[in-house]
Amino acid sequence: MAKKVLIVYAHQSSGSFNAAAKNIAVEVLTAKGCTVEVSDLYAMGFKASATAEDIKGKVMSAENFCYMKETKLAWEQEKLSDDLTKEQSKLTEADLIIFQFPMYWFGVPAILKGWIDRVLTNGFAFSEEKRYSQGIFKDKRAMLSLTTGSLESMFSPTGINGDINVTLWPLQNGILYYCGFQVLAPQIFWAPASAAAEDRKRMLESWSTRLQGLLEEKGQSFIPLDCFDEKAFQLKPDVHKKHASKDFGLTVGIHLNKPLPPHSQRKAGC
């Protein structure tokens, strides 16, 4: 059965490297029989700020406005703004979501952060009962495809920017996996703006090759929710004991005061 793919694209220029990467993804995945839809956030004029304007009608408390509570109720009552319900519909229908963006300040551009803040509302994308390995989107896959301004060597354990695996942890674990997604290894284009034309061409060719088998890739490895106790959300004693003698911690974020596991945010899980 053909897959449905949503590309959430965040770059201002149609002549950018990010645009080229997005266009190749559309071309290759469409040729493989996928239905591909693109949310071009800048072209859409997508609003980045999460405000009471995201709710139709009156809110519960205008004086003490809580976005997470208010949007959960609005989602339940079908009172979210039209731009949000449209994006949520796209996400609901998609089997795979690709986020294509340039890294800004070690994270995502504001317009993409706004998409995350506003579209992934409480109730629709997560709840206290449904998150991480039990998350709402556990039958969907998602991945980051991004460009950096710095060379790969600068994003290393000895580089000035630090380990890229640490940089990606909040995005891949704290957003994607938190919502239940099976997180594919990221596609990182290292400093294309300062690369030679031939090197940029090779980057895009490598992306095109990966896209040919992307639908068969396995997700990265994250620690299942049932490895933590239900009250304090700490690793269960037997899990902690099992890994006590190992050389590396479990993950970048949950490392048991041990050395960080190498490449844990970049390689497919076992």
Q: Is residue 232 part of a domain?
A: no
Q: For the segment 54-88, what is each residue's pLDDT rounded down to a tens digit?
A: 999 998 888 899 999 999 999 999 999 999 999 99
Residue 269 has pLDDT above 50, yes or no: no
Look up the pTM and report it.
Answer: 0.94
DSSP the chain: ---EEEEEE--S-TTSHHHHHHHHHHHHHHHTT-EEEEEEHHHHT---S--GGGBSS--S-STT--HHHHHHHHHHTT-B-HHHHHHHHHHHH-SEEEEEEE-BTTB--HHHHHHHHHHS-BTTTB-SSS-GGG-TTTTSEEEEEEE-SS-GGGGSTTSTT--HHHHHHHHIIIIIITTT-EEPPPEEE--GGGS-HHHHHHHHHHHHHHHHTGGGPPPPP---GGGB-TTT-PBPHHHHHHHTTSSS-SSSS--TTSPPPTTTTTS---
Number of domains in the chain: 1
Q: Is residue 105 part of a domain?
A: yes
Q: Is residue 233 part of a domain?
A: no
Q: For the segment 105-138, what is each residue's pLDDT rounded down to a tens digit?
A: 999 999 999 999 999 999 999 999 999 999 999 9
CATH classification of the domain holding 38:
3.40.50.360
Query: What is the share, in percent, of the chain residues with pLDDT greater than 90?
Result: 87
- Residue 168 structural domain: 4-221
Residue 151 has pLDDT above 90, yes or no: yes
Q: Is residue 19 part of a domain?
A: yes
pLDDT computed for residue 267 by the predictor: 74
pLDDT computed for residue 61 by the predictor: 86
Q: Is residue 228 part of a domain?
A: no
